[in-house]
Amino acid sequence: MFFSEMLDRGQDGDAAIVDERGAVTYGEFRAAVAGFAAHLHDRGLVKGERVALWGYNSANWLVAFFAIVRAGGVALLVNYSMGVDEAAELLRKAGARFLVCGDNGQTKRRDDAMEALADAAGIERSRCVDARGEACDLASAYAQVEGLDEQRQPSEEADTAFIIFTSGTTSAPKAVCISQRALAADARALMAGLEGTMGESVCVAVPLFHLLGLLTSYVYLILGSTVCLPASYRPDTLVSVVGENKASDMAAVGAVYQGLAEANGFSESVAPHLRTCLIAGGMSTPVQMMRLELDFENATFINMYGQSEGAPLTMVRPSDLVELRANTVGRSVDGVELRIADLDGSTLPTGEVGEVLARGVCLMNGYEGLPADAQAIDADGWLHTGDLGFLDPAGYLRLAGRIKDVIIRGGENISPAEVEAELTSVEGVKDAKVMGAPHAIYGESVEACVTTQGAPFDEGHVLEALRTRMPRYKVPAHIFSYSAFPLNVNGKLDQRALYVSMLGKLRRLEVDEELAGGITVFEIAVKNSGYAIGPVTALVSDFAGNIGYARRHAAKIRLAVEEMLIERIMYAYSGAGDIRVRIALMPEWLRVSFSDDGAEYVIDKRADTSTSARIILGSVDNFHTERRGGRPEYCMDFLYDDGVNVKDILLRDKEAAEKWESFDEAMKALP
């Protein structure tokens, strides 16, 4: 059994797990897993029976998990935030026969939480184990218990070893059945993808009942490293855990990292230690990723993509440049095939948006209790993720969002139903569907699809009406008109088909905007001389101030432009020739771009250009490289300050107004 082999790796005296109660050595951990597995077996656990595991992250949790699997049981990983009634419903459906109860939200409120859950789920109280920290330390209580009889029949590697329940935000939670073989494949893929960069300790700041937390702990235990389990994900707690244990690695979601970077003691206790930071559990925007790279000065962020049904499916590699690590979720991991499919399941070419499909041994066994037509894995073994994205020519996956109930734009939660209600109250709008789409800076943009009646559709009229009824951030960026929405076989709205169609229209529009380059204010050729730096930076700074940027923001723009010019003039090879500088007004930001014939410039804080990279990344809202005529163009984007209305600025003179009207007409003419 792969799990038993894993337990033989670490040195007996080394710390395997550190939680708020202290450290558990590998010798104690191994003995406790074997002893608790024997205890469960003696209390009647037979192969395939379900054991619910309900508690906060702790050494007790990990001992119980590995013991359940070793004893041949199936661990049901219950969200520690669930109430008794909600958890009981899941356990009844999953057929739980045992309960291991650690500290959790309910036990903190009521002393009888374990008994209440057991009674509600139909579990005999004699089959409950109180593993709360104050009641039992599994590492010491079972270390001296004789291990299991080797003649018993353990589970096979392909059998379900544990079940993770999905969050159920858009439907009832699903029971995801995962085998030892799948988790072992996940572990091998993660270790291979990290290219040997893992350190001697990891802070796991995600729940163990989620695959990222469990997989990370599993991998570092395989390596004989120390797994640190903080009592909470509060920034002050994490500062203490990372600092006291000198944790070299960490696993968390973006919001946790962002909070940590702002905590007292971060620079002294966290930044010097962390080297590898695993990030998943939601899309982080390129701007957020670059900010994290800058704040965690010694760390490399590893962006991953996956879900409970299989993870990781893709990941960036430590050797990838920051631009790739910020703007993509990487390439497929070892053992995983990846393709992008249209609504009929046909594979789409590079660059086309469609559903992300994955296949490999790392995938789940299926959803417990659901019929074949409700399973996410098709007859050919492809997992239909429900996520949309596209592959670039190098095979890196760029996610294009997913259908979900809440749109998060720049940290603001927006209800699509609220915007839909306002849309349908506008005269001429018959039906409306509002969805989120990926945005390079805000994370998501608000996009709307409508059907109309009566007079010809006037997008400008509808947008103007909305601006008088709701905050500007809730107003859709675009409104796409349809003669009718696509319907499924039941005659209901086929939201997935509509979303794919909308993304296609939006992508064509964005590509057209990129080709047009926004509204170019001026483009100049600068001689490759240090004398040119001052005039150009002054010109850009003055222009930024004239269109409404605050003085401090204009100064940051000047600093970024100055640093880029220094890089190109001082460090590009002598044949660089003139440096072409272009300033363009984009719908939501000012773009300053540079191109020349010199050696290509890449932002990599780990290379010799680290100082300039940090200055640029600390000043811009988004940095990326485009290709124009085979030549790289380095683009720096700066979000407009509140109150800056680009259209009003352009309307100040007739020539600019004509350019904007042409731009508007071109957008409206898109199919």
Task: Render pLDDT for 261-297 as a digit per residue (tens, 0 to 9).
Answer: 989 999 999 999 999 999 986 556 677 788 888 899 9
Model pLDDT for residues 372-428, shown as the tens digit of each residue: 988 999 999 999 998 888 999 999 998 876 545 668 787 676 778 788 888 888 888
Element (H, E) at 2: helix 2-6
Taking alpha carbons only, the member of 557, 568, 624 closest to residue 590 is: 557
Which is more confident, 653 or 178?
Answer: 178
Residues 192-202, mean pLDDT to the nearest whole number: 94
% of the chain with per-residue pLDDT over 70: 87
Which is more confident, 2 or 255?
Answer: 255
Which is more confident, 406 or 530?
Answer: 530
At residue 517, the pLDDT reads 64
At residue 281, the pLDDT reads 60
Checking if the pLDDT of 32 tops 70, the result is: yes
For residues 216 and 195, give the distance between their C-alpha atoms in angstroms, rounded to a whole number. Answer: 15
Element (H, E) at 366: strand 366-367
Pairing of strands 226-228, 201-204: parallel
User: What is the architecture, at CATH level 2, of domain 403-508?
Assistant: 2-Layer Sandwich (3.30)
Which pLDDT band holds residue 364 (cuts at 50, 70, 90)?
Answer: very high
For residues 170 and 150, give the distance between their C-alpha atoms in angstroms, rounded to a whole number. Answer: 45
Contact (CB, 8 A) for 592 and 561: yes
At residue 655, the pLDDT reads 45
User: C-alpha angle with apex 442: 437 to 447, nearest 5 degrees?
Assistant: 30
For residues 334 and 313, give the distance between their C-alpha atoms in angstroms, rounded to a whole number. Answer: 9
Model pLDDT for residues 567-616, shown as the tens digit of each residue: 887 766 556 678 899 998 887 889 999 988 887 887 776 665 667 778 88
Residues 85-101, mean pLDDT to the nearest whole number: 94
Pairing of strands 443-452, 478-482: parallel
Contact (CB, 8 A) for 414 and 439: no
Which pLDDT band holds residue 331 (cuts at 50, 70, 90)?
Answer: very high
Which pLDDT band holds residue 256 (cuts at 50, 70, 90)?
Answer: confident
For residues 30 and 606, give the distance between their C-alpha atoms in angstroms, rounded to a whole number. Answer: 39
Residues 201-218, mean pLDDT to the nearest whole number: 95
Taking alpha carbons only, the member of 91, 28, 42, 100 closest to residue 71 is: 42
Which pLDDT band holds residue 316 (cuts at 50, 70, 90)?
Answer: very high
For residues 25 and 11, give the distance between their C-alpha atoms in angstroms, rounded to a whole number. Answer: 8
Tokens representing 555 are: 């100064």
Residues 97-105, mean pLDDT to the nearest whole number: 94
Checking if the pLDDT of 342 tops 50, the result is: yes
For residues 531 and 151, give the distance between their C-alpha atoms in angstroms, rounded to a whole number. Answer: 83
At residue 652, the pLDDT reads 57
For residues 548 and 649, give the distance between their C-alpha atoms in angstroms, rounded to a whole number. Answer: 10
Tell me which residue has tokens 């036990």: 107
Q: Quick check: bond before 286 cis, omega within 30?
A: no
Which pLDDT band holds residue 628 (cuts at 50, 70, 90)?
Answer: confident
Checking if the pLDDT of 665 tops 60, the result is: no
Residues 20-26, mean pLDDT to the nearest whole number: 94
The CATH superfamily assigned to 519-660 is Histidine kinase-like ATPase, C-terminal domain (3.30.565.10)
Taking alpha carbons only, the member of 512, 508, 448 closest to residue 482 is: 448
Query: SS3 helix, strand, coil % of the chain, rounded to 5?
Result: 35, 25, 35
Per-domain residue ranges of the chain: 403-508, 519-660
At residue 667, the pLDDT reads 45
Q: What is the mean pLDDT of the chain?
A: 86
What would the DSSP string read from start to end of 127-175? GEEE--TTT--HHHHSTTS----TTS-PPPTTSEEEEEE---SSSSPPE
Model pLDDT for residues 475-526, shown as the tens digit of each residue: 999 999 998 888 764 456 788 889 888 988 887 777 666 656 677 888 888 8
| CA atoms 601, 607, 609, 615: torsion sign | positive
Strongest mean pLDDT among 14-23, 154-163, 613-622: 14-23
Checking if the pLDDT of 194 tops 80, the result is: yes
- Cβ neighbors of 246 (< 8 A, separation 6 or more) are 201, 273
At residue 657, the pLDDT reads 43
Give Cα separations from 162 to 114, 223, 547 (angstroms): 21, 22, 58
Model pLDDT for residues 239-252, shown as the tens digit of each residue: 999 999 999 999 99
Give Cα separations from 189 to 68, 217, 277, 316, 320 (angstroms): 24, 14, 17, 12, 17
Three-state DSSP at 395 gives coil
Model pLDDT for residues 139-175, shown as the tens digit of each residue: 888 877 777 665 455 677 889 999 999 864 345 678 9
For residues 78 and 80, give the distance between their C-alpha atoms in angstroms, rounded to a whole number. Answer: 6
At residue 643, the pLDDT reads 81
Q: Per mean pLDDT, which range of 159-168, 268-277, 312-321, 550-559 is the poorest?
A: 159-168
Tell me which residue has tokens 């893929």: 189
For residues 65 and 162, give the distance between their C-alpha atoms in angstroms, rounded to a whole number. Answer: 9
Q: Per mean pLDDT, which range of 118-122, 315-319, 622-626 is the poorest?
A: 622-626
* 149 φ/ψ sector (left φ>0, alpha ψ -120 to 50, else beta): beta
Checking if the pLDDT of 664 tops 60, the result is: no
For residues 97 and 79, give the distance between their C-alpha atoms in angstroms, rounded to a whole number. Answer: 18
Model pLDDT for residues 444-485, shown as the tens digit of each residue: 889 999 988 877 888 888 998 898 888 788 899 999 999 888
Rg, the chain, Cα only: 28
